[in-house]
Amino acid sequence: MSKYNDDFKPGTFYHIFDRAVGDEDLFRSTENYNFFLKKIKKYWEPYFTIYAYCLLPNHFHFVVRSNSLNKTNEILEQFQIKKELTPETFHKNSLQSCGSLLNSYVKSYNKYYKRKGGLFIRAIKRVELKKSSDVTSAIFYVHKNPIHHGFVHELSEWDLSSYNSIKHNRQDDFVNAPQVLELFGGMDGFDEVHNQFKYKS
């Protein structure tokens, strides 16, 4: 059994990730990245608040906090979705939103590129982050991925992550920078953690 299959509970932090099958790419163009983020917003908004993300050609990472039951039910009502979640049904519906996201993206991707079959290696993986230090470590891990895989030399050079939005204290559609910076004790703490990783040639 996979160790990356923790249950979704309300008000809890998670590291969510997945990758493409074999040598496939999930994203072949800027349009693919943007389309995937639009799908994220559509399917995840009722269930998750995003604290960090990074999209790379063949995989992705997100750090999220699951919404409270009240918030989830309020958003579902706004979307005119007729379901009211309970603590017992929260995991099932949150996981279903992840499956709907991947299935919707694959369907559009296959149609556009005239391909068939699965694109993701398996169902979405998720790990509960139980301590505040786990959350900040996961955010740093997500942001350093483009350097770790040799795509760029500096964190700020990769546009398809939340690093620049947080670094410049911007609030966009996906990440609430002030909320994230609070976890690090402010910008100085954020910089102290992120400046520890440098590209090694």
pLDDT, position 201: 42
- Mean pLDDT computed over 63-91: 92
Q: Does 43 score more than 80 pLDDT?
A: yes
- Assign 112 a pLDDT band (cuts: 50, 70, 90): very high
CATH class of the domain whose range is 13-194? alpha beta
Kindly report, residue by residue over 133-146, the tens digit of the pLDDT.
999 999 999 999 99
- In three state form, how does the secondary structure of the chain look? CCCCECCCCCCCEEEEEEEECCCCCCCCCHHHHHHHHHHHHHHHCCCEEEEEEEEECCEEEEEEEECCHHHHHHHHHHCCCCCCCCCCCHHHHHHHHHHHHHHHHHHHHHHHHCCCCCCECCCCEEEEECCHHHHHHHHHHHHHHHHHCCCCCCHHHCCCECHHHHHCCCECCCCEHHHHHHHCCCHHHHHHHHCCCCCCC
Average pLDDT, the chain: 92
- pTM surpassing 0.85? yes
